[in-house]
Amino acid sequence: MDEEIKLIDENGLRVDGRRFDELRPVRIEVGVLKNADGSALIVQGRTKILAAVYGPREIHPKHLSKPDRAVLRCRYHMAPFSVEDRKSPAPSRRETELSKVIREALEPAILLEKFPRTCIDIFVEVLEADGGTRCAGVTAASVALADAGIPMKDLVVGCAAGKVDGVVVVDLCDIEDKYGEVDVPVAYMPNKGLISLLQMDGILTMEEFEKALNLAIDGCKKIYEVQKAALKRKYDFTEKLKREADKSEE
Amino acid sequence: MKNKIPVSINREHVLKLLSKGMRIDGRDLLNYRPISINFEVAGKADGSASVRFGDTYVMVGVKAEIGKPFPDTPGEGVLLVNAEFVPLASPDFEPGPPNEDAIELARVVDRGLRKGEVVDLKELCIVPGEKVWMLWVDIYILDHNGNLMDAAALASLAALMNTKLPEVKVEGEEIIKTGKFKPLNIKDYPIAVTLGKIGESFIVDPLLDEEQLMDCRLTVITTKSGNICALQKSFSGTFSQGDVLKALNIAVEKGKELRDLLFSSFEKFSSSKA
Amino acid sequence: MSMVGGRRSLVIPGEIIVEGNFRAGLNTYLENGKIYSTVMGLAEIRGRVVSVIPIKSYYIPKVGDIVIGIVTDNSPTYWQVDINSPYMAILQVSDALPRPIDPAKENIRKYFDVGDALLAEIALFDKLRSPLLKANGRGQGKLKGGILVEVSPAKVPRLIGKRGSMINMLKKELGCQIIVGQNGRVWINSVNEKLIDLAVKAVKIVDEEAQTRGLTERVKKFILKGKEKIDLESA
């Protein structure tokens, strides 16, 4: 651990110049792949993740199917070149845990009962990892699910908060995650006000935790606006044509 | 939902068109789809590039590590090529270790880079017998719509062109990074051109639908000077001798086109960074 | 977000469409007096019913639907048929042809083989088992020649049009045989491949611009221009 890294400077600014409550810039593109039923690319600061959805489709082997609902499967995976030290493509224990946590973050939002005996596959591929990959993965996967036309109660958004150099901050980048004290990833359903992912790594007082959770939820709400805009922008040419058509009617 | 079952009547339609020199997407037999090459697409890689041939999308990242050389080549660096056919790229790709298609692709791209002498591995030696640069070339297929081989080979070469190694100094037992970076010295530019044979017609850059109909496939990798540095025949059909020579000539010609496109894309990228 | 009746707005999953005394129609749900969308699509209010027309949709089999399937496998007594749905369908030997087949005496693959396209009807679907098809009705059975393309199942009504206005225009102007399956698969046949190519493009335009007005006229113009080009090329 490098003692010389100051995560918060004299002006209260973080290593990348952000204030404690400032998010990294977020950009989302919808429908970037042809084969997948739905897909989305998210770039959050220097974290870049591609999410894709296949389904609902038949599940193999058949005995894995559920008679009354679709089975949801999720695979979180990091490209070997996505991190500082090349990562072997074989799935690690961390990737296995995150696959489960992300699946459980998205599951409550999806109307799985509409497709009994099928499966919905979600793939989250990290192309560049600079902190907050599970949260950004949830954000992108949710957009990919909407792009695939899979019915949901709400979108799900992810955002983490934590503590670095004694200060509670939102949206940690990689350095802050590595050298900071605490990391609290959160996923949230913005129209319902429900939390579907919550983890913590580190130690916080009750007061600090509440602050962190509030920051994370505020972050989720801001990123939701980016999700919404990205989805609507994808189909806005339809809107344009419709508006032109409506105009010619008047 | 997109179960890729070859539909017999569609197959007959493709064959009918081919016999008239046409393809289902309106291309000529020897034309590529629109190609786009992008550099520096994965920020944590030491070099990276992505290539699109129509809807086929491949990303390659290069990571450089310092490691031990192979015992039989103590004065040479190491080049390792791996391909992941990640499941999001196609309904037919399953999670798990690389299957025979992925392994074949990686090994053919490797042969093209190695025998085409893209990099002089001796220049990657730091301390002979002890420490050399190891270049990991990881091919990531993101969307499979035919002709993965050419896209992967082109993206691998582009990623190497984009690769910078940290400059190092040897001081006794230690290897010190000076903090400066040097681009890899690229010595040649081998390009892969894959030809498919359907009936008696040769096509270049097959679509997924066309690949399902191909009897035979020949990947030809040629260098800048027009020499052949790697060949791979796949699928269970056959070629005649005349077929092979015809294919080689097409590969040299098309290889040059792709190489020119690679150079102009790289120039555009370099000047945008300046 | 308030709505004026009849006007359509683009909504995303979880977005509130209206509040108040409304009923939840297709692709929506009601909670605490609010109607939410479950998909990306155009929200529509007819009377007091709120529904959303999805941008992307699946084909869920309905008894009586005419569909175009592709045979993917067979056992001695039935074929497995892909009907462009999350559910794979089954065609039993007894429902395949107008006359009986004895699977003990014949190899059923001579009637339908893997890769064959066929026009069939959904005979049974109870969500507990695979949908069952029948292909022994009039006009049903193996499709010979031509090609298959796919459109979003949600766009099928538009591709057919009110009282068949769109499909009849397409058949007339293109001079092709065209059959539209409820499952989003379209079969197009003609002796002239260039007309088939033009037809495919026309069908794709309907798929992409289904929600717009004046579509039939626009597609007709596109076809006429295309035919002119074909005539010029062959002259």
Mean pLDDT of chain A: 92
What order of strands is seen across the sheet that includes strand C28-31?
C16-19, C34-37, C28-31
Together in a domain, C203 and C158: yes
Mean pLDDT of B245-256: 95
Question: Looking at chain C, which subunits does it touch, using at least 3 CB pairs closer than 8 Å as the criterion?
Answer: A, B
Per-residue HEC secondary structure of C167-198 comes to HHHHHHHHCCEEEECCCCEEEEECCCHHHHHH
Q: Which CATH number is C179's domain given?
A: 3.30.1370.10
C233: pLDDT confidence band, cut at 50, 70 and 90? confident
Closest chain A residue to C212, measured at CA: A242
For C82, name the nearest residue in chain B, comparing CA atoms only. B3
Instruction: Say yes or no for a CB contact (<8 Å) between A79 and B42.
Output: yes
CB A101 within 8 A of CB A158: no
Q: What confidence tens digit (pLDDT) does each residue in C120-179 have? A: 999 999 878 899 999 999 999 999 999 999 998 988 999 999 899 999 999 999 999 999
Q: Is B271 on the interface with C (CB under 8 A)?
A: no
* The total number of structural domains that make up chain A: 1
- B78 interfaces chain A, CB cutoff of 8 Å: no
B9 lies in some domain: no
Q: Could you give the CA distance from residue B95 to residue B91 in angstroms, rounded to a whole number?
A: 11
pLDDT at A239: 56
Is the domain of C223 the same as that of C152? yes
Q: Which helix (H) or strand (E) holds C80?
A: strand C78-82
* Chain B contact set for A54 (CB, 8 A): 1, 87-88, 91
Residue B2 confidence class, pLDDT cut points 50, 70, 90: very low
Domain annotation covers residue B129: yes
Tell me which chain B residues have a C-beta less than 8 angstroms from the C-beta of C147.
7, 9-10, 13
Q: CATH number, domain at A105?
A: 3.30.230.70
Chain A neighbours (≥3 Cβ pairs under 8 A) are B, C
Q: Which of C58, C115, C147 sits opposite B13 (nearest CB)?
A: C147
C-beta atoms of B1 and C86 within 8 A = yes
pLDDT of residue B1: 35
Task: Give how far A83 is from chain B: nearest CA, Å.
Answer: 6
Strand C23-24 versus strand C41-46 pairing type? unpaired
Using DSSP's 3-state secondary structure scheme, residue B31 falls into coil
3-state secondary structure (DSSP) of residue B174: strand
Number of domains, chain C: 3
| Whole-number percent of chain B with pLDDT over 90 | 82
> Does residue B232 have a pLDDT over 70?
yes
Any domain includes C1 = no
List of chain A residues whose C-beta atoms are within 8 Å of the C-beta of residue C36: 153-154, 191
Has residue A243 got a pLDDT over 70? no
* Claim to verify: residue C180 and residue C211 sit in the same structural domain: yes
Q: Hey, are the CB atoms on B9 and C196 less than 8 Å from each other?
A: no
Decide if C213 and A58 are in contact by the 8 Å CB cutoff.
Answer: no
The verdict on residue B2 lying in a domain is no
Contact residues on chain C for A244, CB-CB shorter than 8 A:
212
* Residue in C closest to B20 by C-alpha: C193
| Total domains in the fold of chain B | 1
Residue A42 lies in domain: 26-85+93-249
Instruction: State the Cα–Cα distance between residues A248 and C214, nearest whole angstrom.
Output: 10
Contact between C134 and C108 under an 8 Å Cβ cutoff? The reply is no
Of A37, A155, A238, nearest to C14 by CB-CB distance is A155
Domain with residue C125: its CATH number is 2.40.50.140
Q: What is the mean pLDDT of residues A190-212?
A: 95
Sort out which chain B residues have CB atoms less than 8 A from C143's CB and list them.
Answer: 9
Phi-psi region of C12 (alpha: psi -120 to 50; beta: other; left: phi over 0): beta
- Is B194 within the bounds of a domain? yes
Token pair of A106 as six digits = 């998205």
Residues of chain A neighbouring C8 (CB-CB closer than 8 A): 242
Instruction: Go through B4-21 and write b for each residue having 16 or more CB atoms within 10 A of its CB, e for each that does not.
Output: eeebbbbbebbeebbeee
Chains A–C, number of C-beta pairs less than 8 Å apart = 95
Do C21 and C46 reside in the same domain of the chain? yes
For position B77, what pLDDT does the model report? 96
Q: What pLDDT is recorded for position A247?
A: 54
The answer to whether the Cβ–Cβ distance between A232 and C127 falls below 8 Å is no
Q: Which of residues 150-209 of B touch C (CB under 8 A)?
A: none
Indicate whether C151 and C80 sit together in one domain: no
Give the pLDDT confidence of B182-194 residue by residue, as tens digits: 999 999 999 999 9
Confidence (pLDDT) at B173: 83
Interface with chain A: mutation pick from B4, B66, B80, B142, highest number of A CBs within 10 Å:
B142
Helices A133-147 and A206-234: angle between axes, nearest 10 degrees: 30
In a domain, A188, yes or no: yes
State the burial class of residue B195 (Cβ atoms within 10 Å of its Cβ: 0-12, 13-18, 19+).
buried
Q: In terms of domains, do C172 and C195 share one?
A: yes
- Residues C176 and C135 grouped into a single domain: no
pLDDT at res. A81: 98
Smallest CA–CA distance from B12 into chain C, residue: C145
In a domain, C18, yes or no: yes
| Residue B143: its H or E element | strand B131-143
pLDDT in tens, A3-46: 567 888 888 899 999 999 999 999 999 999 999 999 999 999 99
Residue A212 covered by a domain: yes
Q: Which of C142, C165, C192 is the last residue of a domain?
A: C142
Helix (H, G, I), strand (E, B) or coil at C119: strand
Give the rounded distance of the alpha carbon of A155 from its chain centre. 11
Containing domain of residue C40, as a range? 9-54
B197 in a structural domain: yes
Does residue C2 fall inside a structural domain?
Answer: no
Answer yes or no: do C129 and C166 share one domain: no
What is the strand order of the sheet A182-189 is part of? A167-170, A157-164, A182-189, A194-198
Q: How confident is the model at residue A240 (pLDDT cuts 50, 70, 90)?
A: low
**Looking at residue A244, what is its pLDDT?**
57
pLDDT exceeds 60 at position C2: no
Average pLDDT value for residue range A93-115? 96
Least Cα distance to B41 among B24, B21, B57, B65 occurs for B57
Confirm or reject contact between B59 and chain A (CB < 8 A): yes
pTM of this structure:
0.92
Residues C161-178: b if buried by 16+ CB within 10 A, e if exposed: beeeebbebbbebbebeb
Residue of B nearest to A123 (CA): B88
Q: What is the DSSP string of chain A?
A: --TT--SB-TTS-BTTS--TTPPPPEEEEE---SSSSEEEEEEETTEEEEEEEEEEEE-SSGGG--SSSPEEEEEEEE-GGGSSSPPPSSPPHHHHHHHHHHHHHHGGGB-GGGSTTEEEEEEEEEEE-SS-HHHHHHHHHHHHHHHTT--BSS--EEEEEEEETTEEEES--HHHHHHSSEEEEEEEETTTTEEEEE--BS---HHHHHHHHHHHHHHHHHHHHHHHHHHHHHTHHHHHHHHHHHHHH-
C185-200: burial string, b at 16+ Cβ within 10 Å, e else: bbbbbbeeebbbbbbe
Residue C6 pLDDT > 80: no
Residue A93 sits at φ, ψ, to 5 deg, of: -65, -35
Does C81 share its domain with C114?
A: yes
Flag whether A1 is in a domain. Answer: no
In a domain, residue A198? The reply is yes
Chain C residues in contact with A149 by the CB 8 A cut-off are 39-40, 54-58
- Tell me the average pLDDT of chain B: 94
Percent share of chain A, pLDDT over 90: 85
Q: In CATH, what number is assigned to the domain containing residue B106?
A: 3.30.230.70
Residue A79 has pLDDT above 50, yes or no: yes
Contacts of B57 in chain A (CB under 8 A): 33
Residue A215 and residue A161 in contact, taking contact as beta carbons nearer than 8 Å: yes
Please state which of the ranges A53-67, B25-39, B56-70, C24-38 shows the lowest mean pLDDT. A53-67
Determine whether the interchain pair C87/A58 forms a contact, defined as Cβ–Cβ distance below 8 Å: yes
pLDDT-based confidence at residue C32 (cuts at 50, 70, 90) = very high
| Nearest residue of chain A to residue C85 (CA atoms) | A57
CB B159 within 8 A of CB B45: yes
Distance separating alpha carbons of residues B224 and B191, to the nearest angstrom: 8
A250 pLDDT band (50/70/90 cuts)? very low
Output C77 or B6, whichever has higher pLDDT. C77
Looking at C115, C142, C169, the residue that finishes a domain is C142
Say how far apart CA A157 and CA A217 lie, in whole Å.
9
Q: What is the pLDDT of residues B127-169, one digit of tens each?
A: 999 999 999 999 999 999 999 999 999 999 999 999 999 999 9
| Chain C residues whose C-beta sits inside 8 Å of any chain B C-beta | 58, 70, 72, 82, 84-86, 113-117, 143-148, 193, 196-197
Core vs surface per residue B38-72: b (16+ CB within 10 A) or e? bbebbbbbbbbbbbbbbbbbbbbbbbbebeebeee
Q: How far is C25 from chain B (nearest CA, A)?
A: 26
Partner residue opposite B59 with nearest CB, options A39, A55, A127: A127
Whether the per-residue pLDDT at C99 is higher than 90: the answer is no
Asked if residue A105 belongs to a domain, the reply is yes
Which stretch, B111-115, B173-177, C8-12, C214-218, has highest mean pLDDT?
A: B111-115
Residue A11 contacts by C-beta under 8 Å, 6 or more apart in sequence?
none
* Separation between Cα atoms, residue A66 and residue A68, nearest integer Å: 6
User: CA A227 to CA A231: how far, in whole Å?
Assistant: 6
**Helix B241-273, helix B148-161: angle, nearest 10:** 40
What is the domain range of residue B102?
19-273
Q: Is C193's CB within 8 Å of B7's CB?
A: no
What is the ipTM metric for this complex?
0.91
* Stretch among A161-165, B33-37, B70-74, C4-8 having the lowest mean pLDDT: C4-8
**Would residue A77 count as lying in a domain?**
yes
User: What integer best gives the mean pLDDT of chain C?
Assistant: 90
| The pLDDT value given to residue A238 | 56
**Residue A53: inside a domain, yes or no?**
yes
